[in-house]
Structure 1
C-alpha cells in the first residue's frame, strides 16, 4: 500500500502546536533520525497514526559542587519512585523523607535535597544504598511532551505503542493525505476503520513519560529550555550512580584510572564480579519488545505479540505485486574515532585495543569499568549478553553491538 503525502514537512513540535486539537493524524517520516536512545530512532517512510499526546512533569536537578562529583544537568520525574529529604544537615537520619512531588509542593524552588538514607536500590543483581548518591539542587520544573501513536505496516496497525518526543528537532514528518490509486471515499473508510479500532482496543496514559533520570550533555546553559533538549540517556538509579563516579567526560587514560581520590573509593566499593561463561553462542539473539505506554491500572505489562487478525484494516489491497510499501532506510551516522588500525585477531587484543574498540562502537562510557576489570581480547570473547547486561549494565542493543564485534569484528557503518 502506497500513500500520498503532503509536500510540507514538520518538526515533531510543529505537529504538536499545529494539530494537537485536531488529532488523530496519519503521518509519514520524511527525514529519519538515529538517536542515542533506541526509542528515539525513526526510519524514513515509516507510517504512524498519531492518536493523542502526553505530558510528564519533570524537575531539573544539578549536583552540588561540594559533592566532588561530575557536575552535570539532569531531570527527574516529579513522581519518581525513590524518596528524598531536604538537605538541612550532614546527618541524613535526622531528616524526614518525602516524595519529590511533596517536596516541590511544600517548598519554593530552588531547594537542595538528598536521596533518603533509608532507600536501598536493587537493579538486577546489583544493589546500592542511596546514601552514596550525590546531593542535588532542584531548580525548576518543566513538561516533557510526547506524541502517542502506532505504526501502520501495509494496512495493518501494529498493537505496539510508539512515543515521539517533541525534543527530536531533526525528525521530520509529513501528513498523509490519501492512498495512491484509491478514491477519497476509500481513504475516508480506511481512516474510519483505524479510528474504530483505536477507540475500542487502545488506551493511552496521558501522563506517560520516561520513568528514569534524564542525563543531558555537559554543554547546557542556565537559560536552556529543557522541554526542547534531547537527553543523552535515561538512567536507572544504578546507572545514575555509575555516571556520577565513572564518567567518560573525564577522559582518563589507562595508567591514571584511579587518579581521582573519590573515584578510587567508589570503584573499590562497587567492584564487579566476573562470571565464568562459555564461549559466545552462535545462535542469534532474539529481540525483546519494550512497553512504552501505561495501560489501565498503572500496570506496565509486557507488550502482546503482534496479531494481525485483531488489528488488520479491511482495505481492498491492490493485487499488483509492484505496489508495496517502500523499504525504510535509516539516516547514516558517521562515527567519530581514531583512524589507527586495530589488530585483526581479537583474541590477542590488549586492554588498550579493547578500549579503542569501545570508542569505535560508541561505548566509551564503559572504558573505565573494562579497564578496572582488565578486559583484554581473550576475556572479551568470553563475555555474553547476560554478563554485559547484569555485571556492566549494558542496554540490550549495546550488548548486541559488542557481542557481534567480539564474534567477527563487525563495527556498524
Structure 2
C-alpha cells in the first residue's frame, strides 16, 4: 500500500490539540513542519507517524549566575554528575543527579563534575556554567511513536517534544478499501508495535538550555518552551589516570612527545607501502528479502495489484556510539554522503513468518514476537524484491520538525558510592550567599570555548547583549543575532561564507540577495538591524 492511500481528516491540530482530542494510538501526517537547528533526526512535512503513547520524563531545573535555566534529565543514573557545594566549598564530589534527589532537598548549590563536559550541538563549542542552583523537579511530556513508510513501521522510536510548532492531520480510513481493511491495517500495526521495547526509550538524555526571558514568557511551563540550545554530555579524560575514556570527536588528545612523533611517522610510511586489505562482507550482514506486514498488501484491498520495483539499497555504515554504549542505545545508519541519515525498519520475514529486525538495523529492540499469523501471504525467496526500508529524503526547502531519537552519548563514569551525605536546607543556602559573592570573578560562565580550551566569545542571548561596535561580533555570535531576528534558516549560509560582524558591515542588499539567497523582506530586516539599530517591539 502506498503512503497516499490514507484518507486524512480536513482539520489539522497542534500537538497539544491532538493530544487533547484523540485517544492513542493514532496515525498522523505532518502538514506544517517546524524548522529546528538541533538534534539528530527530523520530520519533514508530509511524513507519516504512528503515535503510540504519551510518556513523561523526570528532569531538574537549574539556574546559573546569569539567570539562564538548564533542564537536566534525572530519570536514570549515569547521565549527569555534580559536585555538591556547601559553605562556599565542594563537600561531595561526582554525585549522580538521581542520588542527589534521594539524599538532598532542593534548592541546592552544585556544579557540574569535572568528569563530564557539555558541548553545544550548534558549533558553539564546550559550554561552561560554573556554580548552579538546582531549583526544582518537573515532568516533561513527549509523544512516542514510529515513522511509517512503504507499509513499514521504522524501528527507531521517536520522542517528539510538545513544544514543536508543527501541525498534524489524523488518518480516518483508507481511500481504497472498506472499514474491514482499515481495521485489519490498524491491527497489523498494533501487532508490530508490540514487538518494540518502547520502555527502553522514555526521555531525552541531553541538557536543554533556556533564556530567562523565554521562561518568563511561558510562565515557567517548560513543555511549551523551545530550548535555545541542546547540550550533549560527554566524558572527560582523567588526567591523573592512565586510562583514557573514549569520548568520540569531542575529545582532543594531548600532542605526542617528539620521539613518539618519529615512531608514528615511520609507521605511517610503512602503512603507505603495504597494499590495502580487501574488505570482506560476512554472510551474517547480508540482508534477507522482506515482504510487507499482514493486511498491508495491495491484493488484500479490492484485488489491486502493483508492479514490484527492485530496490537498490545504498551502502551504509554504522556510526558507533561515543564511549561504551548501553544495551538500549541506538546506532545510526549513515550513507556514504554524510548529509543523509536513515534508519532501518521492521519487516516480515517470508520463510519464518515472524517479525524480525534486519542485520544492519539501527537498534535491536528485543521482545520480538515468535510467530505472527500471516494468512494468504506468499513465500519469498532471496531473488524476490524487498520492501524499501529507508525513509524518503525530505523535499528541498521543506521545513522540518526536530524530534529526539534514542541517545548515542556515552554516560559519564559511574560515581563512587558514598554512604553518608549531609542534607542541605534553605538556611544553609542563605549562609553561603556571602561566600558565593566573594568567589572568583573570572568564572567562565556565559562564555563558549573550543575543545582545545580556546575562548570563542560570550553568548548573545538577548538584544541587550549585542555590542555597540558590531564589527567585533564573531561568526558564532552572528548566528546568535540571526536567531534573535528569526532568521535561523540563514545561519548555515552565513557560517559557510564566514560572515562575522566586520564582513556584515560591508554587505549591501544586492550581495545579500544574490550571494546569501536572502528574501527582500529579510534583507530589509537585517539592514535595519545593522544600520539603524532596529529591534522588534515585542522583544
TM-score, normalised relative to structure 2: 0.45
2:231 alignment partner in structure 1: 235
Q: Does the 8 A contact of 1:59 with 1:141 survive in 2?
A: yes
Q: Does the 8 A contact of 1:73 with 1:220 survive in 2?
A: no
Q: Where does structure 1 lack aligned partners over 5 or more consecutive residues?
A: 66-70, 240-269, 274-284, 317-324, 334-350, 372-408
In structure 2, relative to structure 1, the CA distance for the partners of 1:129 and 1:172 (3 Å cut) is closer
| Structure 2 Cα separation of the partners of residues 30 and 122 of structure 1 | 34
More off after superposition, 157-166 vs 99-108 = 99-108
Q: Where does structure 2 lack aligned partners over 5 or more consecutive residues?
A: 120-124, 236-251, 256-313, 334-342, 349-354, 357-373, 378-390, 401-471, 483-488, 501-514, 520-539
After TM superposition, give the deviation of residue 88 of structure 1 in Å: 0.9
- The C-alpha deviation readout for 1:313-347, integer Å capped at 9, x for no partner, is 9999xxxxxxxx999656559xxxxxxxxxxxxxx
| Structure 1 Cα separation of the partners of residues 172 and 399 of structure 2 | 28
In structure 2, relative to structure 1, the CA distance for the partners of 1:15 and 1:62 (3 Å cut) is same
1:193 alignment partner, SS class:
helix
After TM superposition, give the deviation of residue 204 of structure 1 in Å: 0.5
After TM superposition, give the deviation of residue 25 of structure 1 in Å: 0.9
1:4 alignment partner, SS class:
strand
After TM superposition, give the deviation of residue 62 of structure 1 in Å: 0.9
| Structure 2 Cα separation of the partners of residues 164 and 271 of structure 1 | 36
2:87 paired residue among 89, 96, 99: 89
More off after superposition, 302-311 vs 52-61 = 302-311
Q: How many correspondences in the alignment? A: 292
Q: Does 1:12 align with 2:15?
A: yes
TM-score, normalised relative to structure 1: 0.57
- The C-alpha deviation readout for 1:230-262, integer Å capped at 9, x for no partner, is 1122212479xxxxxxxxxxxxxxxxxxxxxxx
Q: Does 1:300 align with 2:295?
A: no
After TM superposition, give the deviation of residue 172 of structure 1 in Å: 0.9
| Structure 1 Cα separation of the partners of residues 132 and 21 of structure 2 | 37
Q: Does 1:178 align with 2:307?
A: no
Q: Does 1:114 align with 2:143?
A: no
2:491 alignment partner in structure 1: 362
- The C-alpha deviation readout for 1:145-182, integer Å capped at 9, x for no partner, is 111111112322222222211111x2111210111121
Q: Which has the higher helix share?
A: 1
| Structure 2 Cα separation of the partners of residues 40 and 363 of structure 1 | 17
In structure 2, relative to structure 1, the CA distance for the partners of 1:226 and 1:110 (3 Å cut) is same
Q: Does the 8 A contact of 2:116 with 2:233 survive in 1?
A: no
| Structure 2 Cα separation of the partners of residues 291 and 14 of structure 1 | 38
- The C-alpha deviation readout for 1:278-313, integer Å capped at 9, x for no partner, is xxxxxxx99888899xxxx85203257626643799
1:160 alignment partner, SS class:
coil
Q: Does 1:150 align with 2:146?
A: yes
- Which protein shows a greater Rg? 2
In structure 2, relative to structure 1, the CA distance for the partners of 1:160 and 1:410 (3 Å cut) is farther
Q: Does 1:216 align with 2:210?
A: yes
| Structure 2 Cα separation of the partners of residues 328 and 6 of structure 1 | 22
1:226 alignment partner in structure 2: 222
2:98 alignment partner, SS class:
helix
| Structure 1 Cα separation of the partners of residues 116 and 394 of structure 2 | 44
| Structure 2 Cα separation of the partners of residues 104 and 364 of structure 1 | 44
More off after superposition, 176-185 vs 220-229 = 220-229
| Structure 2 Cα separation of the partners of residues 152 and 54 of structure 1 | 20
